[in-house]
Structure 1
Amino acid sequence: MKRIGFLSFGHYQDVPGSKVLTASDALKQTIELAVAAEELGVDGAYVRVHHFAPQLASPFPLLAAMGARTSRIELGTGVIDMRYENPLYMAEDAAAADLISDGRLQLGLSRGSPETALQGYRSFGYRAPEGQTDADVAREKTAIFRAAIDQAGVAHADPAMTGGQTGLLAIEPQSPGLSRRIWWGSGSRATARWTAEQGMNLMSSTLLVEDTGVPFDELQAEQIQIFRDAWVEAGHDFEPRVSVSRSIIPLVTDEDRHFFGLRAQADSKDQVGRLEGTMARFGRSFIGEPDVIAEQLAADAAVQAADTVLVTVPNQLGVDFNASLLESIVKYVAPAAGWR
């Protein structure tokens, strides 16, 4: 049985056809979609985080609100760009949101992806020290964040304010168990191995920043196997999780066919191109009749290797359309693909 979640980028734009005109619309509709998804039996509600763009940006108020309105569904990110984060303040926010949801957070972190701002994290007050890369900074902040949510002392106590207590103080609040629900957004086989060595769950999207000439799903399945092998070698004391993202649009209603029917063939193949100076492979979309999609997904090597599939949703079409899309996946695609 696979967990099925949705992943929303939270786009908003005041253009013809959009049902998400403002940031307020994007935030409130994401909450409503999480509620609807839980009622449909979907397992996860995940949000993408971008800065300097008309998309979802600050995840923790949103995750807390989603947690307050739901009771079962997992709530997560895919992913938070750690270059922009204060890891201790983030640890406080994450713990608070996790406590509100009774321990349902699944936090995906990463070095970040190409963005509209040129080194936008510098405007947030952060820059890589001499000799360090963006990836170094993201990994260092992640280590601090993970230690903080695992009760590490991070600030010296002031005896004058603590009744004579000395030593290091941990951040508050703490949310037990959150440290095992941290994921790393990995875009390559090498970072998959590093993720396993660090003891984080693996989150892999529809983009890999390498290309060996094999189909996307096979390359991603190799990435997953490298992760699992490295996890065993590292000797961690709990079972890891692996998620992959897919664009899945079952054509069930006339509205589905109106918006996506013409894309069924155009988006049916991988794409290869250059991204930030390196070759990258983008995974195909799955658009068509539910039984056809189910057969294609059943043959997808990476989907079969993962325990969680995150479905990227066209959020600007509104809550009702996306709830209908998720219902079609749960009712028709998942059973036929052997996920349920």
Structure 2
Amino acid sequence: MTKLGFLSFGHWQDVEGSRTRTGADVLLQAVELAVAAEEVGVDGAFFRVHHFARQHASPWPLLAAAAARTSTIELGTGVIDMRYENPLAMAELAAQTDLISAGRLQLGISRGSPETVIDGWRAFGHEPTAGESDADMARAHTDKFRRAIAGEGFAPGNPQMIGTSALQPIQPQAPGLSERIWWGAGTRATAIWTAEQGMNLMSSTLLTEDTGVPFDELQAEQILMFREAWASAGHDHSPRVSVSRSILPIIDDETEYYFGIQGQVEQRDQVGMLDGSRSRFGRSYIGAPDVIAAELARDAAVQAADTLLVTVPNQLGVEFNTRILEALVKHVMPVVDAEVAPSIA
């Protein structure tokens, strides 16, 4: 059975039509949407992380607040830019948040994405070492973070205080968190690296490569290569894979008002240049729930993944997005789950 989660970018701006006009609006509504989503049967509440932008930023207060208000829904990120992170501080925050959630945290991390500022991680106090790129730095931060949440010691103990000089781990520790770390991979090569590292795969509506095949087929190939690399690595637990999609069911006058015209236009993949690389962007799914369900049932990557994250128009508010999510739970996902995953040529 495919898990269904929502992914919110947390946009906020004081403009006409926005129901999230301030930073407080977007945070408080994010918690309420997580509560409402759990009530209608959604499996996950995920939040995008961007710095220096009017969007969700450092995720820990939001995740902890949502954890305290919910009991079953998974809570996660998609994704944390590891170039900005102090690995040990992040390990403490992640462990505490996971304990508050009783083990429901699913952390998506990566080397980051295009930003509204230039090298913002430098302002956070992080500099690559000699010969190291910012991507290398992100992976180094990731390695240290993962070793910390796995219980490795980093600071020598004070014998006068604790009777030993052995290296001490961060506290608290959160059992099982190490297996709930996801890497946001934009290429097939990165997916293979992710599997070799023992992290789950998070693949979005953007791949920073293009082979000429439709987006869903390219993404499904990425997933297949990830699973094959995972099997070859011999990890002792099963991996998870998520894909993101923009899905907007037309279910009433309000959804028709906002998205009806878009639904009348044929939705196709888009190909363009991003950060100097030819990239492929996935299409949107807009229309009646039964039409969307049939289209998603033919989406090779959706069928190959175990988790589908739906990007939500958060500026339209909690009630609007709850109705969208409920329609997906009741009318779309049963059809998606009924289909047999197609083979990859």
Aligning the two structures, in what range does the TM-score lie when normalised by the shorter sequence? over 0.9
* Pairwise CA distance, 1:260: 0.4
Per the alignment, residue 233 of structure 1 pairs with: 232
Per the alignment, residue 73 of structure 1 pairs with: 73
The answer to whether residue 127 in structure 2 is matched with residue 90 in structure 1 is no
> Counterparts of 2:108 and 2:155 in 1: how far apart (Å)?
26
Secondary structure class of the residue paired with 1:196: helix
2:197 partner amino acid: Q
| Contact 1:29/1:318, CA 8 A, preserved across alignment | yes
Summarize deviations over 1:200-223 as a string: whole Å, max 9, x none: 000000000000000000000000
Summarize deviations over 1:135-184 as a string: whole Å, max 9, x none: 1111110010000001000111122222x311100000100000000000
Per the alignment, residue 144 of structure 2 pairs with: 144
Per the alignment, residue 153 of structure 1 pairs with: 153
Per the alignment, residue 249 of structure 1 pairs with: 248
- Aligned in 2, Cα 1:194/1:265: closer, same or farther, shift over 3 Å? farther
> Counterparts of 2:214 and 2:267 in 1: how far apart (Å)?
12
Per the alignment, residue 29 of structure 1 pairs with: 29
* Pairwise CA distance, 1:266: 4.0
> Counterparts of 1:170 and 1:129 in 2: how far apart (Å)?
25
* Pairwise CA distance, 1:265: 4.2
* Pairwise CA distance, 1:324: 0.4
Secondary structure class of the residue paired with 1:238: coil
> Counterparts of 2:92 and 2:270 in 1: how far apart (Å)?
40
> Counterparts of 1:303 and 1:337 in 2: how far apart (Å)?
8
Per the alignment, residue 62 of structure 1 pairs with: 62
| Contact 1:196/1:227, CA 8 A, preserved across alignment | yes
> Counterparts of 2:197 and 2:287 in 1: how far apart (Å)?
39
| Contact 2:303/2:336, CA 8 A, preserved across alignment | no
| Contact 1:267/1:284, CA 8 A, preserved across alignment | no
Per the alignment, residue 53 of structure 2 pairs with: 53
1:1-340 mapped onto 2 (5 Å cutoff): 1-162=1-162, 164-266=163-265, 268-338=267-337
- Aligned in 2, Cα 1:89/1:267: closer, same or farther, shift over 3 Å? farther
1:235 partner amino acid: G
| Contact 1:267/1:285, CA 8 A, preserved across alignment | no
Ranges in structure 2 where 5+ consecutive residues have no aligned partner: 340-345
Secondary structure class of the residue paired with 1:34: helix
> Counterparts of 1:107 and 1:148 in 2: how far apart (Å)?
15
Secondary structure class of the residue paired with 2:88: helix
* Pairwise CA distance, 1:264: 1.6
> Counterparts of 2:129 and 2:139 in 1: how far apart (Å)?
13
Summarize deviations over 1:27-65 as a string: whole Å, max 9, x none: 000000000000001000000000000001010111000
Secondary structure class of the residue paired with 1:197: helix
Equivalences, count? 339
> Counterparts of 2:219 and 2:304 in 1: how far apart (Å)?
9
- Aligned in 2, Cα 1:267/1:92: closer, same or farther, shift over 3 Å? farther
> Counterparts of 2:38 and 2:9 in 1: how far apart (Å)?
19
> Counterparts of 2:89 and 2:336 in 1: how far apart (Å)?
42
* Pairwise CA distance, 1:267: 6.4
Secondary structure class of the residue paired with 1:76: strand
Summarize deviations over 1:243-300 as a string: whole Å, max 9, x none: 0000011101110010001112446100000000010000000000111111110000
> Counterparts of 2:265 and 2:88 in 1: how far apart (Å)?
45
Q: Percent identity?
A: 66
2:179 partner amino acid: R
Q: Which runs of 4+ in 1 moved over 6 A?
A: none
> Counterparts of 1:22 and 1:186 in 2: how far apart (Å)?
31
| Contact 2:35/2:69, CA 8 A, preserved across alignment | yes
| Contact 1:33/1:319, CA 8 A, preserved across alignment | yes
* Pairwise CA distance, 1:17: 0.1
TM-score by length of 1: 0.98
2:317 partner amino acid: G
Query: Bigger CA drift: 256-265 or 87-96?
Result: 256-265
Secondary structure class of the residue paired with 2:25: helix
* Pairwise CA distance, 1:339: 5.7
| Contact 1:128/1:134, CA 8 A, preserved across alignment | yes
1:86 partner amino acid: N
| Contact 1:206/1:245, CA 8 A, preserved across alignment | yes
Per the alignment, residue 342 of structure 2 pairs with: none
